[in-house]
Structure 1
Amino acid sequence: MSQKNETVVLVVSLVVTLALVAIGAWWFTKGSGTNLGGLAGNPSNPSETKTTSPQLNQSVQEHVSAGEKLLIPANPTPEKQAAIKAIASGNYAEAITQLEASLKSDRNDPETLIYLNNARIGKQKSYTIAASVPISTDLNAAQEIMRGVAQAQNEINRAGGIKGIPLKVLIANDENNSDIAKQIAAAFIKNSQILGVIGHYASDVTLATADTYQSGGLVAISPISTTVKLSGRSRYVFRTVPSDYVAARALADYMLQKLKQEKVIVFFNSQSGYSQSLKSEFVTAVSLGGGQVINEVDLSDPNFNAAQSIEQAIEGGAQVLMLAVNTGTLDKAMLVVQVNGKRLKILAGDDVYTPKTLQLGGLAAENMVLAIPWHIGANPQAEFTKAANQLWGADVNWRTAMAYDAAKALIAGIERNPTRIGVQQSILAPNFSAQGAAGNIKFLPSGDRNQSVQLVTIQAGSDNPWGYKFVPIPK
């Protein structure tokens, strides 16, 4: 078969396989007790807080909810729909009954748990934080983040609150869009009840909102954004996830020291700040370690050709391919994996850690090595892990763990000084620390978290629909 025909067959195969993605998303969200590879899916002084936020303009207000509106419209239970109406009318007792019933039939719905905890607060005094997530563009990732936030809120409120005052959480759907996120950030600043924000998702979106949070004196902690451009960007923007500097060096060291290979081809997306950051840091780390980058291939190039890129790399002596790609180019990345056919060893960043990689990668993705912040398989006895399994009835992944840590950091800051400036000063204090899912939470003056990454690999596994799962590599 000619190279052209092989490529056509691979493309057709991938298109057919994409039909399974919707099924996979359902399975991760509605799974019956386990989630393969640790991928969940199936993140001023106290005053009487109102459910709605009158400070928000109408368009932004539609993106924000404390329970009075449904932000995740897909397949809500009848009880959840009834609860939303009850909260909107101020009938918190009815909302509590309905939300508790909804959780019995859909226990791993984080939106429901957050609204339940908010309804239990009712009109009591409370501290408020917000979580801005990409609900309408990446629901699975949004729910993963919300699970971490919901778990932290549930834990602190069940323990009596922050020095006796419960924690309320607002949810915002920023659509992973910089313009919308900036409007939401501006609205958060105007709402004096909000003491901190968990967000955002994409590095570009977090970068776009940094000046807004700085100008408003409101702390934002991203559980996901890894670009090195965030380091030192703002005295009010932090992150619980290690930066691309850390991940890139871990992958480069693995290639040079463990695989004993020196030549690599890198695939990236020039339209993504995260992808650009990870690519640049990896190229630098490989060069400093004595390796050589044969070529850098931009997946957003209209002339991109997976088969041609791989063949040229092999002819140039490449032994490894690195996927420094973002979720928006994951389909193209999986085409690269299929075309490669296990000829070159594969490395990848944390955006490749998704169910879709297992679905579309299959056998061709076996033994791929990824750098992620945390993996449940490496921390099976941790308190967070056991509590998460009991709460959600499923394994959780690194996005949930990092969102939990972001919420725990804000809770610790509020406990020290429940004002916006107090939270910021507390988090920056040299003696600040909080216990999170991934160990102790401490921030550098740059806003970065001083933490290593976890390398995982894809291995065959009979306990999932696709026959493959992510497995931690012992440190």
Structure 2
Amino acid sequence: MAAKDENVRLLISLGIAGVMVAGILWLVSNFSAKTANQPKTPLRISPELNIPSSPEWMSKGEKILVTADKTAEKEAGINAFKSSDYGTAIINFQASLQKQRNDPESLIYLNNAKIGNSKALKVAVIAPIGTSLNEAQETLRGIAQAQEEVNISGGINGVPLQVEIASLNNVGQIEKIDTELVKDSSLLAVVGFGRNEELYRKNSLVRISPNSGRRSQDGQNQTQMLGDSKYVFNISPNRNIFTQALAEYIVKKQRRTNIVICRDSSSSNNQQTSNTERPNQEVVKEYSDLIAQFGGKVTSTECDLGAGNFSASNFISRATSDGAEAVLLIPRFTNINPVIDIAKENRGRLALFGSQQLYSARVLKFGQGDVKGMVVAVPWHRDANRNMSPGNSFAEKAAKLWGGEVSPRTATAYDAMQVIIAGLKEDSTRQGLQKVLSNENFSAMGATGKIQFTRSGDREGGVFLVKIEPCDPAKPCPSGTGYDFVLVQ
């Protein structure tokens, strides 16, 4: 009897369990049917895990900043890079470079894609892509060449170098770029022109400018006024070295004692406002003082290349009437047409001299025989250090990589990277890099020769003088214009 009662209780339990299971299945089915018809809520990542994207003007390979060099392959590489499909990105960037050999942005992105998600040492470059595209590309070629060479050789102590590009699209954006860069703790150094040196010092971030420093009215460099903890270094010698070299050459070597100076008051809104490209009354005063110091004088002839009513013929007429023997031309980088007009109108009457902005293929192309004999002060020339490494100089390697001659801006950007690379080999931290570069015994070898810095952070060393001469018809003309810049011996 007891066994029978036990069986009954077992059957009842099984029945109740079955009912409960059926009920649960019905509830699940009913809930699923309802939710299937409701819009799906996207998965949200918690703020702690959400990694913010970089600004639209900054890229390691996920954006095209230089649209002038856009190809279908480059766009495909960008899309693959954004999806972290680095293998596909590599293939497409390589294909794009087959079409656009001299596109430095693609070469930088290609090297970044080869790194992928691996450990890397990150450096940023500020390039004026939206304000002076030619200047930006010249700068990026120096950066890309240095990155390519160091990564091919095994990186920095075995770690590859990653480059991030920050595009300067207007002058008012400079401080925003500075602020964005210094807050990136993974960034070890910056190449390019910036405005707020104190900001870099406070955030222990080194910035290397490919250009020259500028002295204040009391003769001090701004970096000196910030104390010994300098974080900004200049690859080109201080600007007064350029002015001194050219002024001395004009008066003492060429024996021209009556000089007229042409400044340029045109707006700088369409270009990067850099210390080497701010021809104004301050620069005119620097040249005037030095010319007087060497025994010459500046005539009172007014010459403003940026004036809306500027007339080259009227200027030459007034200058010769005032007894001028030479004209010193200090244009803005983007405003060389008045210089060409003066050269054409001059017809050899006045000796021509110019600031480093005139070291340009555009001057050779449009000036031709009219600019023959013009002397310009520059930080680099392809023949300056060729003897240091015959057959393997920077100029020769650059010509092979880019398919043609490169400018001093490419050379100084390359040297900025060589300084950073040499420093990171000794210490790959922000503070450590600053200490290495500040050491009075620090030096690096670059396109412009041995690089060392003064206590103020300026480049030690001199400048080169070059003269425009016709190319030898029996030899290839590097510029392709029939004229070239040759070193003044």
The TM-score bracket by the shorter chain reads 0.7 to 0.9
Aligned to 2:23: none
Would you say the 8 A contact 2:331–2:357 is kept in 1?
yes
Shift of 1:226: 5.0
Aligned to 1:211: 198
Alignment RMSD: 2.1
- 2:397 aligned with 1:410: no
Aligned to 2:52: 54
Whole-Å Cα distance in 1 between the matches of residues 212 and 127 of structure 2?
12
Aligned to 1:362: 368
Aligned to 2:153: 159
Per-residue CA shift, 1:393-447, capped at 9, x if unaligned?
3222211110011011111222222222221121111111111111111111111
Quick one: which of 173, 178, 203 aligns to 1:180? Answer: 173
Whole-Å Cα distance in 2 between the matches of residues 114 and 196 of structure 1?
16
Quick one: which of 125, 128, 146 aligns to 1:134? Answer: 128
Aligned to 1:443: 453
Aligned to 2:86: 92
One-letter code aligned to 2:196: T
Aligned to 1:398: 408
Would you say the 8 A contact 2:61–2:81 is kept in 1?
yes
Whole-Å Cα distance in 2 between the matches of residues 416 and 379 of structure 1?
26
Whole-Å Cα distance in 2 between the matches of residues 226 and 199 of structure 1?
12
Which secondary structure does the structure 2 equivalent of 1:378 belong to? Answer: coil
- 2:464 aligned with 1:471: no
One-letter code aligned to 1:391: L
Unaligned runs of 5+ in 2: 1-49, 269-274
Aligned to 1:231: 221
Shift of 1:301: 3.9
Change (3 A) 1:356 1:392: closer
Whole-Å Cα distance in 1 between the matches of residues 437 and 74 of structure 2?
36
- 2:286 aligned with 1:291: no
Which secondary structure does the structure 2 equivalent of 1:238 belong to? Answer: strand
Which secondary structure does the structure 2 equivalent of 1:192 belong to? Answer: coil
Shift of 1:455: 0.9
Which secondary structure does the structure 2 equivalent of 1:332 belong to? Answer: helix
One-letter code aligned to 1:218: L
Would you say the 8 A contact 2:233–2:457 is kept in 1?
yes
- 2:107 aligned with 1:113: yes
Whole-Å Cα distance in 1 between the matches of residues 454 and 345 of structure 2?
42
Quick one: which of 458, 469, 473 aligns to 2:468? Answer: 458
Whole-Å Cα distance in 2 between the matches of residues 413 and 279 of structure 1?
37
Deviates more, 1:177-186 or 1:464-473: 464-473
Whole-Å Cα distance in 2 between the matches of residues 113 and 280 of structure 1?
42
Whole-Å Cα distance in 1 between the matches of residues 158 and 409 of structure 2?
29
Shift of 1:55: 6.8
Which secondary structure does the structure 2 equivalent of 1:137 belong to? Answer: coil
Would you say the 8 A contact 1:129–1:195 is kept in 2?
yes
TM-score norm. by structure 2 comes to 0.79
Shift of 1:315: 1.3
Aligned to 2:385: 379
Whole-Å Cα distance in 1 between the matches of residues 435 and 171 of structure 2?
27
Would you say the 8 A contact 1:55–1:190 is kept in 2?
no
- 2:341 aligned with 1:341: no
Whole-Å Cα distance in 2 between the matches of residues 330 and 240 of structure 1?
25
Would you say the 8 A contact 2:213–2:221 is kept in 1?
no
The alignment covers a number of residue pairs equal to 412
Whole-Å Cα distance in 2 between the matches of residues 219 and 169 of structure 1?
15
Whole-Å Cα distance in 1 between the matches of residues 423 and 174 of structure 2?
24
Which secondary structure does the structure 2 equivalent of 1:432 belong to? Answer: coil
Whole-Å Cα distance in 1 between the matches of residues 70 and 143 of structure 2?
20
Would you say the 8 A contact 1:178–1:209 is kept in 2?
no
One-letter code aligned to 1:471: V
One-letter code aligned to 2:287: F
Aligned to 1:197: 190
Deviates more, 1:272-281 or 1:88-97: 272-281
Whole-Å Cα distance in 2 between the matches of residues 341 and 186 of structure 1?
50
Whole-Å Cα distance in 1 between the matches of residues 466 and 114 of structure 2?
40
Shift of 1:76: 2.1
User: Percent of aligned pairs with the same residue?
Assistant: 38
Would you say the 8 A contact 1:232–1:447 is kept in 2?
no
Whole-Å Cα distance in 2 between the matches of residues 429 and 314 of structure 1?
52
Aligned to 2:323: 317
Shift of 1:119: 0.5
Shift of 1:143: 1.2
Which has the higher relative contact order, 1 or 2, with Cα contacts under 8 A spaced 6 or more apart? 1
Whole-Å Cα distance in 2 between the matches of residues 416 and 324 of structure 1?
41
Per-residue CA shift, 1:197-218, capped at 9, x if unaligned?
1102xxxxx4x33233233322
Would you say the 8 A contact 2:384–2:448 is kept in 1?
no
Shift of 1:53: 8.0
Aligned to 2:38: none
Would you say the 8 A contact 1:252–1:282 is kept in 2?
yes
Which secondary structure does the structure 2 equivalent of 1:430 belong to? Answer: coil
Would you say the 8 A contact 1:162–1:415 is kept in 2?
yes
Q: Work out which of the two has the higher radius of gyration on C-alpha atoms and give 1 or 2.
A: 2
Would you say the 8 A contact 2:77–2:92 is kept in 1?
yes
Aligned to 1:275: 279
Deviates more, 1:94-103 or 1:221-230: 221-230
Per-residue CA shift, 1:56-111, capped at 9, x if unaligned?
5xxxx111110001011124232211111100111001111111222233222111
Would you say the 8 A contact 1:379–1:385 is kept in 2?
no
Would you say the 8 A contact 2:325–2:351 is kept in 1?
yes
Change (3 A) 1:211 1:328: farther
Change (3 A) 1:403 1:441: same
TM-score norm. by structure 1 comes to 0.82
Unaligned runs of 5+ in 1: 1-51, 201-205
Aligned to 1:46: none
Whole-Å Cα distance in 2 between the matches of residues 156 and 354 of structure 1?
28
Whole-Å Cα distance in 1 between the matches of residues 53 and 71 of structure 2?
30
Deviates more, 1:209-218 or 1:83-92: 209-218
Change (3 A) 1:302 1:466: same
Change (3 A) 1:157 1:53: farther
Aligned to 1:35: none
Quick one: which of 415, 434, 443 aligns to 1:433? Answer: 443
